[in-house]
Amino acid sequence: MQLDSFVLSNINGSMFLNSFLTLASEQSWRRAVVSIDQFSLADIHEIFALADRLSIGRTKPLSGKIIANVFYEPSTRTSSSFYSAMTRLGGSVIPINEVNYSSVTKGESLEDTIRTLECYCDLIVLRHFETDAAERALAVSNIPIINAGNGVGEHPTQALLDLYTIKKERGEFDRLSVTMIGDLKFGRVFIA
């Protein structure tokens, strides 16, 4: 099961739903996923334990929940991954993969888009070309926000997935040296 499935479930579903949707939650990552830096090692292990539990069976902890996939940049894998994760966990998706066909083309700000969409869904997955977009969205939102990549900033759920894959393949991710190849300057994955 994709990491996006258990990030979605941990933020907006399963038996922990009420505490995860509470703005006063003691752990900020249950309110939003903005940066990999917001996670403690204990948080990461908790997310991975939930991922392991969800991968065992076909549960539908997000039945009746809706996410909005709001992608200001082209995306195939990330957008599809969140869409698939949400539907596999029993929820629905409002896909907005082409902001060219939204009110953004008429000058609607990111903040106004977020305020409008939060009326229709329980969580917003946001991919945006500006590095401060996730923080700006979170500042005006009354529902959880997941940063699905922000400009040349970071891609925290991809970083979590990479760590989870390393843990599954190697048994742990502590005390390892990892070599990365690719666009080191502009690659969100490398920054995260």
Give the model's pLDDT for residue 75. 87
C-alpha distances (whole Å) from 141 to each of 37, 162, 168 are: 21, 28, 34
Give the model's pLDDT for residue 54. 80
Tell me the sheet residues that pair with 123. 67
CATH assignment of the domain containing 54: 3.40.50.1370
> Active-site residue among 77, 175, 179, 185?
77
Element (H, E) at 125: strand 123-128
Give the model's pLDDT for residue 56. 78
Contact 161, 2 (CB under 8 A): yes
> Active-site residue among 31, 65, 127, 167?
127
Can you give the pLDDT of all 192 residues of the chain as single tens digits? 445 555 555 554 443 333 333 333 455 667 789 999 999 898 899 889 888 888 776 778 889 999 999 999 888 889 999 999 899 889 999 999 877 667 776 778 999 999 999 999 999 999 999 999 999 999 999 999 999 999 888 889 998 998 999 998 888 877 777 777 776 655 545 555
Give the model's pLDDT for residue 26. 52
**Exposed / middle / buried, residue 52 (Cβ in 10 Å: 0-12, 13-18, 19+):** middle
Contact 79, 69 (CB under 8 A): yes
Q: Which domain, by its residues, includes 50?
A: 3-191
Give the model's pLDDT for residue 21. 37
Give the model's pLDDT for residue 176. 75
* 106 given a catalytic annotation: yes
Task: Give the number of domains in the chain.
Answer: 1
> Active-site residue among 30, 31, 136, 155?
155
Give the model's pLDDT for residue 22. 39
* 155 given a catalytic annotation: yes
Task: List strands edge to edge, sheet with 32-33.
Answer: 32-33, 145-150, 123-128, 66-71, 92-96
> Active-site residue among 78, 113, 157, 188?
78
